[in-house]
Chains A and B, each alone.
Chain A
Amino acid sequence: AQSVSQHNHHVILSEAASLELGCNYSYGGTVNLFWYVQYPGQHLQLLLKYFSGDPLVKGIKGFEAEFIKSKFSFNLRKPSVQWSDTAEYFCAVDTGGFKTIFGAGTRLFVKA
């Protein structure tokens, strides 16, 4: 069965530190990939997405993600985090428009 694995459940960083959140999926075919963010008390919002083309995708708020097909990975990065980036981050994979599989989420806490 298809699955999405996020390596870290909790990450604590200081402001200005660099961030990398891991995401791996299990599916051998064509995929659409997403990162969603959920700020405290709010609903999920799209951070960035990959459908095709350049495997390095830039999203909102300085986030980017790189799709590495050979590693079935879609890691999220940000060079310098801010306190306002404190949130839960979800990696998601769509394998054909029928349903999207979400990872378990990574809670990021940024210390001011």
Chain B
Amino acid sequence: DARVTQTPRHKVTEMGQEVTMRCQPILGHNTVFWYRQTMMQGLELLAYFRNRAPLDDSGMPKDRFSAEMPDATLATLKIQPSEPRDSAVYFCASGLVRGDGDYNEQFFGPGTRLTVL
């Protein structure tokens, strides 16, 4: 049963600390998305990758957030320094885009619940 995994599931940290969230997409998927979900803003797309290359990270605060895919099995989202307003649930999702631009649905991971004190 293929699924997206995320670690850690919960993270509590103090303001100013670095936070790294990890995601393992479903094997064979070539597109990875990072979302942030809060009560106030709902589900926001932060960044997404195709074949490990960043296609769009316009939803991310550039000064403190960074997203990478060191290899096809790992995507990371880093916040440095973290702030209380970063408290949210961060979801990773993966999907498969075929050559004709059409693709299947996104499969979401369980999320990382981040609390910045």
Q: Is A46 a contact of B43 with CB atoms below 8 Å? A: no
Shortest Cβ distance from A100 into B: residue: B106
A97: contacting residue among B33, B91, B102, B111, CB under 8 A: B102
How many chain A residues have a CB neighbour from B under 8 Å? 21
Query: Mostly helix, strand, loop or mixed at chain B's interface?
Result: strand
- Least CB distance from A6 to B in Å reads 10
Q: Is the CB of B105 within 8 A of A46?
A: yes
Q: Could you tell me which A residues sit within 8 Å of B by CB distance? A: 32, 34, 36, 42-46, 49, 51, 90, 94, 96-102, 104-105
In the complex formed, the residue of A with least CB distance to B91 is A43
Q: Is the CB of B111 within 8 A of A43?
A: yes
**In the complex, chain A residues whose CB is within 8 Å of the CB of B91:** 43-44
Specify which of B45, B102, B110, B111 is in contact with A51 (CB 8 Å cutoff): B102
Q: How far is the CA of A94 from the CA of B103 in the complex (A)?
A: 9
CB-CB nearest in chain B for A6:
B42
Contacts of B93 in A (CB 8 A): 44
Distance (Å) between the CB of B34 and the closest chain A CB?
11
- CB neighbours (8 Å) of A90 from chain B are 43
Q: List 8 A–B pairs whose Cβ atoms lie within 8 Å, in order of A's numbering.
A: A34-B105, A43-B108, A44-B108, A94-B103, A98-B55, A99-B55, A102-B45, A104-B42
Note all chain A residues with C-beta closer than 8 A to B109. 43
Shortest distance between the CB of B107 and any CB in chain A (Å)? 8
